[in-house]
Structure 1
Amino acid sequence: MSAEKNKAIIRRFIEAYNNRNLDIFEELVAPDYVDHTHEQQGRDKFKQLFTLAFEGFPDWYESIEDMIAEGEWVWVRVEATGTHTGDWNLFGVPLPPTGNKITMPMVFFFRIVDGKMVEGGELDDQLNFFEQLGFIEYTEKGKSLFTEDSG
């Protein structure tokens, strides 16, 4: 497939889950999808991550900021936002709602073969994410080194 067709697949995928249409997984994700970030395999396991995220962040939304495609690979930079108003299960640990709104830049990468996403992963700033939720905070030394203005 062309780079433009692969980019269109990723746009459709992000638009669908932004609208909570998780049926798109059946159409666009291979049954044996490999998720490099969470070190798991299978479309259903990948889909479950979105279901869990939407329980914890019912208003989760990803705005596409930039996209690059070459060959079978597509990289997409998004700005994600969401409010932690629901229970969220992180690695088996239930985290009660904080009510905090987060904003997080993320980069996803996907390999597409025959119109299906077959593998992928993400890069994001987990430290900043947990800080926005109020689960961690910088030490005094950290606050002096990493002021909010340096961000």
Structure 2
Amino acid sequence: MSVEENKAIVRRFIEAYNSQNLDLFDDLVAPDYVDHTHQQQGRESFKRLFNLAFTAFPDWHENVEDIIAEGDRVWVCVTATGTHTGEWNLSGGPLPPTGKKVAMTMVFIWRIDNGKLAEGWEVDEDRDFLKQLGIIEYTEKGKKLFPEDAG
């Protein structure tokens, strides 16, 4: 597939995510998909992860800021926004809704094989995301060291 076709697949995937259309995942994600970030394998595991996100952040939306492709790899930078209105299941247990709006920049790297997402990596700033939700707060020392982040 061409790099333009690979970019189109990623754009379709993000559109499916934004519209919460998991049916399109069957067309866009390989059955043996490998999620390196969340250490999961399989399209169904990937779908479960998205269902958890849809429950916690039903208005989550990703806007593509930049997309680059070379060979079978596609890098995409998105600005994501959402409101935490549902329970979010973290590895440490469920987090009740905070009602807080969050915004973050995320970078995804996908390997495309036979027209489907075959592998994926995610890079984002978890600390800032958790701070926006009010889950973490700086200590007094942290507020002095990072005053621009402590507000």
| TM-score bracket for this pair, using the shorter chain length | over 0.9
Report the residue type matching 1:39 in the other structure. Q
Structure 2: gaps (5+ residues): none
Say how many residue pairs are matched. 151
Q: Tell me by how many angstroms 1:92 deviates.
A: 5.9
- The match for 1:49 is 49
Report the residue type matching 1:66 in the other structure. D
Partner deviation per Cα, 1:58-109 (whole Å, 9 max, x = no partner): 1000010001100000000000100001111112611100001000100001
Q: What is the CA–CA distance in structure 2 between the aligned matches of 1:15 and 1:147, rounded to whole Å? A: 37
Report the residue type matching 1:71 in the other structure. G
Paired residues of 2:110 and 2:119 also in contact (CA < 8 A) = yes
Paired residues of 2:16 and 2:25 also in contact (CA < 8 A) = no
Q: What is the CA–CA distance in structure 1 between the aligned matches of 2:30 and 2:77, rounded to whole Å? A: 22
Runs of 4+ in 1 over 6 A off after TM superposition: none
- The match for 2:18 is 18
Paired residues of 2:143 and 2:149 also in contact (CA < 8 A) = no
Q: Tell me by how many angstroms 1:16 deviates.
A: 1.2
User: What secondary structure, in the 3-state scheme, does the structure 2 residue paired with 1:123 have?
Assistant: strand
Q: What is the CA–CA distance in structure 1 between the aligned matches of 2:142 and 2:25, rounded to whole Å? A: 41
User: What secondary structure, in the 3-state scheme, does the structure 1 residue paired with 2:45 have?
Assistant: helix
User: What secondary structure, in the 3-state scheme, does the structure 2 residue paired with 1:23 have?
Assistant: helix
- The match for 2:107 is 107
Q: Tell me by how many angstroms 1:142 deviates.
A: 1.4
Q: What is the CA–CA distance in structure 1 between the aligned matches of 2:65 and 2:79, rounded to whole Å? A: 7
Query: Structure 1 length normalisation: TM-score?
Result: 0.96
Structure 1: gaps (5+ residues): none
Partner deviation per Cα, 1:25-51 (whole Å, 9 max, x = no partner): 100100000000011100000111110
The answer to whether 1:96 aligns with 2:96 is: yes
Residues 1-151 of structure 1 correspond to what in structure 2 (within 5 A)?
1-91=1-91, 93-148=93-148
User: What secondary structure, in the 3-state scheme, does the structure 1 residue paired with 2:104 have?
Assistant: strand
Report the residue type matching 1:2 in the other structure. S
Q: What is the CA–CA distance in structure 2 between the aligned matches of 1:149 and 1:45, rounded to whole Å? A: 34
Report the residue type matching 1:140 in the other structure. E
Identity of matched residues, %: 68
